[in-house]
Each structure stands twice: as C-alpha cells, then as structure tokens.
Chains A and B, each alone.
Chain A
Amino acid sequence: MRTEAAAAAAPLAKVRPARRLEGAGPALLVPSALYVLVMFVYPFCYGVYLSLRPGKGEGGLSVANYLAFFLDPWQARTIWVTLSLAVPNTVLTVLLALTVAYVMRRGIWLERTITTLLVLPIALGTVLVAEGINGFYGPKGWLNQLLLMAGLPDPIRLTHNYTGVMIALFVQHFPFCFLMLLGYISGIDPALEHAARVLGARPWDVFRRVLWPLIAPGAAIAFALVFVMNFGVFPSAVLVGQPAGATRTIAIAAYQQAFEHYDMSMASAIAVIMGAGQLVGLIIVLLLRGRLAATGVATMGAGKR
C-alpha cells in the first residue's frame, strides 16, 4: 500500500502542493516528540545525574548514594520486599489470566458483562480499590462475617499486611492481564486449532504444540508488563499494607527520601535503582521469551517419540 502510494505519487512529483503535503509529516510529530523528550527523557537523565551528586551538590560525581542504599539494611531490604510481592503476584496473575483467557477464547456465557465488570478496577484505580479492600476484607468486613458464620473461630487478617497488598495487586492486575491476553488469544485464527484437531491432536496437544507457541510471545510481554507494574507498587502498599514494615517497597523508600527527608539526590538514586530492577525483570522475560519461542519450534522438529 505504501509502495503503491509512492508509485502513484511519483508522476505527480512536479505538482508543488503534493510535495508540500509530503513534507508536512515530520513537522506534525515535532510537538509531541519534543514534549516527551523535555518532560520525560530530560528529567530521567537529570535524575540519574542528580543521583550521582550526593549531599548539597558540591564536589564531583560519586556513587555514594548507591553505596548508602545497598549498605543500609533498612533501605536494601526494600528490594527484597518488593520482589517478594512482585514475583509471586506476577506469576499468579499471569497464570490465572492465561488459563481464563485460554478457556474463554471462543466466547463464554455473559462475556460482555464479565469483561465490562473487569474493567471497573482498572478504571477506578488503586486508591479506591484499596479503600474497598480495607472494608470488604477487613476484620469487620463482609468476607470475614461470612467466614465467621461458616464456623471460623476468629476473623482472618487480610488487610494492612502482605496479604492485603497481594489482594490489591491481584484485583488491579488480573483484569488488566486477562483483557490483554483475551484480545491476543482470540485473535488467533480458529482454523489453526481445527486443523490440528482434524490431524489427530487432542485438546492438550492443540495447546502444547499449536496454541502455546503462538501465545507464548504475548504471554511473555504480559508477564513483563505486570511485573514492571508490580515492582513500582506504591499506593496499595501504603493503604492496604504495612508501609513501615512488611510492605515497605522500594517506591515507598524513594518517596520518603524525596518528600519526607527532602533528599532529592538520594531519592533519585532509589528511583534509578527501581528503574534498573524493572529493566532487569524486563530483560530476563524477553530473554526467556526468545528461548521459549526457539524451543517451541525445536521440539516440534525433533519429532516427539
């Protein structure tokens, strides 16, 4: 289509207005690109620079902030805390979302209603969901009332701890991940599945040999996105967690440096560490994705037994 356009435009090249129209392309992009550069790339670079100038900014560049972070157990621990939330939650979210999306790939009863309801937590945002979780899962909430009625001796503590944050993250990210994967999986041509079935594949063979290799790249990206979001968890960790203890995540540490200690240099350093953590997660997933795709094809060629 583009080459067609170019070919059709060629004989008209002498007509001036047409050429002006072509030239307008890059100019239309300048304002938005400039905005992202000035308001996103520049602050990011400035943050990295600032993180390397500890104290009041005298003297040269130094990694003192980073050293201080990793040597202070109270700070360094946040990485572990964040990972202990992000990794299990991401695995759980993606596995469940993948299963549900896979089973629902050819539609399900009340599909439109269900997907619409699932948009709610995404649209309402973390703060409202956190407040609702504190109520619903709280010691006096409906869930614990139900459990007590069912014969449980004491209410279970589901809020203001690790579990609360896990619930909050799951409620937020499961619908997100599910809708993403549902769009992806239902886009796969059903004829591929039919072809495999007719050729002798049982439902499990269809999944393992045909659909999983096609789904895996999308699932990997979904995994990466959910992990990155989980790694930056802030409001849920404060509102339904224990921000001074079990759920003091790295985002909380960065926020406290910036807005409670007013140490922008150290805050920037922590933000950089947070970004690096997300990047590492992203890279691991993308590397795995490459391997996944490769072995998917390789085992097929080997001709399983």
Chain B
Amino acid sequence: MRGGGWRLAVFCFVLGFVLNLVGIVGHVVVSSFARRWFATPLPPDWTTAWYAYSWREFQLPQILTVTVVVAGSVTALALLLGFPAAWALARRDIRAKGALLLLYFLPLLIPQMTYGIPLATTLYRYHIGGTIVGVILANLVPMLPLAIFILLPFFEQISVNLEWAARVHGASRFQVFRRVVLPLAVPGLLTAGLLILVTTVANFELTFLLSGAGSQTLVVALYYAVFAAGMRPIYSVDAMAVIYMAIVLAILLVALRFVRPTQMVFRLDRG
C-alpha cells in the first residue's frame, strides 16, 4: 500500500549496507590469496603462500594457543561464577536485586578503554599485567556479567514448580540440581558459553591493555600487524585476518543455531 515507498527505500539501504559489509570482508579474503593486487577488480595471480608466511612470521601457533587458553578459561570461569548468580537472581527474592543488576551492568555499559586503563594500572602494580592470567582476569570483568545477563532470562522461564515437584517426589537437593536444574539449564549454558567464547576471541581493548609479549591473543596480534602496516606485506596481514575471521565465524555459526541475531545485543526492555 502507501508504505511501499518507505519499505523499498529501507530495503535498498539495508541491501547497500550488506553489500558494503560483503565488500569489507571480501576485500580481506581476496587480498589474502593475491600474489600481488593493485587497483584491479581482482588480483592477476593467486597464491596460498601468504598463509604459510603468516603462520611463520606472526608466530601464529603460539598466538593461537594463547587465544584458545584465554577464551576457554574466560568462558569456563564466566559460566562457573555466573551460573549460581543468575540462578539466585532468577529464583530467590534478593533484597538488593536492582543494585546488584546495576553492578553487573556497569562493566558492560562503560567502554573498556575507560575502565581498562585503571584496571591495567592496578594489575600491573600486582605484576599480573602482561601475563596470560592478567588477560583472563581482565576479560572476565565484562564476560561474567554477560554470562549472568544471558542466563537470567533462561532461568526465569524455568518454573520453580519443577524443582518443587522433584523435591516432593523424593529428590534430595543435590539430586534436584543434578537431575532437574542442570539438564534444564543446558540450553542457557550452551548459548551463554558460545556467545562468551566468540565475544572473548574478538574482544580487543582489555586484552590489548593487559597483554605482554607472550600473552597476545589473535585479535591483538592482528591489531599490531595492521598498525605496523608496511613492515610486512599486506597480503600476509590479510591472511592472518582471514584465519581470525574463520575462527570467529565458526563459533558464530554454531551460536546462531541456538540464538536469534536480536539476542546478541542488549535487550532494551530490561531495567
């Protein structure tokens, strides 16, 4: 009807935006396979040599190990600490619930550069800064609240009656946890785990401020490579970028089986 013009305009805009995205990502991918590429639609010669070069020159084995350790540890710790907190917030009448939610919300609201510098100052003072432990501890600051906020709606949906029913039918508290709570929590934990994993791999600022020579994750190494463009061929930087992208996309693809895209941003109707 009359809204047709608006719909068409909006659709064209979104299409244009998506095309730009494809261009941005596509450029990196094409460049990583180019022997040389200079102001032509596509490179004249193709090669996979930059991947080997990048693997060697950027010390990717070591960096990937750090990335896996950091992302894995942060995810595990965030779920371990976030699970009981989210469960308690969803189940019990917590007196200072509003204040607690605000406390958990702040590290997500305030940009990492703002609190990253004082955090880095503190951690370096205790000689944790620059180590893998420091990177893990710093990343946990926003990821733990993220875990809580992802888990909370999942747990609020689970009826208390299920726990009560299990108790009435003779389950002990531990059995209730083991046989009722845990299985019901699995979808939430899976969703939260995947989202935290992908967010941690891509999390730049805190890792950047806290990492030293041996504790860089892939995204930080990529930053330094892009920053020092000209030191090494751009194609090798792009090869590293593609490796990074492949890892993020692989996790994201799994995650999108469980979550809708709108769930990956803040819910505005909360609080």
Chain A positions within 8 Å of B, measured between CB atoms, are 1-2, 5-6, 17, 20-22, 24-26, 28-29, 31-33, 35-37, 39-44, 46-48, 50, 96, 99-100, 103-104, 108-109, 112, 114-136, 140-143, 145, 171, 174, 176, 179-184, 187, 203, 218, 221-222, 225, 228-229, 231-232, 234-235, 238-239, 251, 254-255, 258-259, 264, 267-268, 270-271, 274-275, 278
Contact = CB atoms under 8 A, between A and B. Distances in A.
Nearest to B119: A43
Interface stretch (B47-55, B185-193, B197-205): B197-205
A300 B236 CA distance: 61
A278 B14 contact: no
B117 A116 contact: no
A128 B249 CA distance: 12
Give the interface SS of chain B, mostly helix, strand, loop or mixed. helix
Contacts, number: 281
B41 to A, nearest CB: 6
A234 B264 CA distance: 22
A271 B118 contact: yes
B152 interface: no
Contact of B238 (A47, A116, A135, A259): A135
Interface stretch (B56-64, B65-73, B137-145): B137-145
Given A122-B265, A218-B268, A228 B110 contact: yes
Contacts of B264: 119, 122-123, 179
B21 A171 contact: yes
B267 interface: yes
Interface residues of B, number: 96
Contacts of B100: 29, 33
B46 to A, nearest CB: 16
Interface in B15-36: 17-18, 20-21, 23-28, 31
A180 B268 contact: yes
B200 to A, nearest CB: 11
B223 to A, nearest CB: 5
Given A99-B10, A135-B238, A275-B114, A127 B204 contact: yes
Contact of B28 (A37, A135, A270): A135
Given A121-B21, A135-B27, A142 B113 contact: no
A127 B267 contact: no
Contacts of A17: 173
